[in-house]
Structure 1
């Protein structure tokens, strides 16, 4: 099933660590292995992603998939990561876009964006100042 050059149980031990959510320990053990096969790239990529090294993890998982294109476990994990990343990017883009569009040309967050005109910025500054007991514009 795996294109591994190892006869011992090193990868099964790594999988046990991953199942126990000991991602850093698995990653560190994998770094000590010098002969790299598709299983090494897959497990290293998986552990790297789980500890937050997303770019590195993606590269390793892609390499594992390229080395062993018939391995469904590798391709499924790689495709699942890509889908998650694409969904995240799409959702964050739409969230920020919707947030800007919901302002209707005015900003009441004192952000100083280009969408805010001077009067709105002054009103926001006055509101913030009043929250702290001051009064930036006495007529408002």
Structure 2
């Protein structure tokens, strides 16, 4: 009986409130907690948010791996090629961006998610979440 805690007066079982997913990076944990505390989210939205947070974990791991690493490596024919982790980092950052766009969360002050945002606001968000 997973996630079952007790019978309710109506005879139905009440589910235990479970903690959110566990994430490795502080950015992912913060994004999850701030978002789930601020917005009421449907199950499918939480899955999208979980994917975004997992992408943040992967971004942090890739950035750690790339720290101090050579940005160029040798290809199969001995030619200089970009470190493959750079491409993976770029793809993961794009996946994070897509997930956040798909969520289309409104600003806390109620601004519609579809409303255009200034470039400075986009830059601030990118700096905060490491994208």
Mark yes or no: TM-score above 0.5: no
Between Structure 1 and Structure 2, whose CA radius of gyration is higher? 1
Class of the TM-score when normalised by the shorter of the 2 chains: under 0.3
TM-score (ref. length: structure 2): 0.28
Task: Write 1 or 2 for the structure with the bigger share of helix.
Answer: 1
Query: Normalization by structure 1: what TM-score?
Result: 0.26
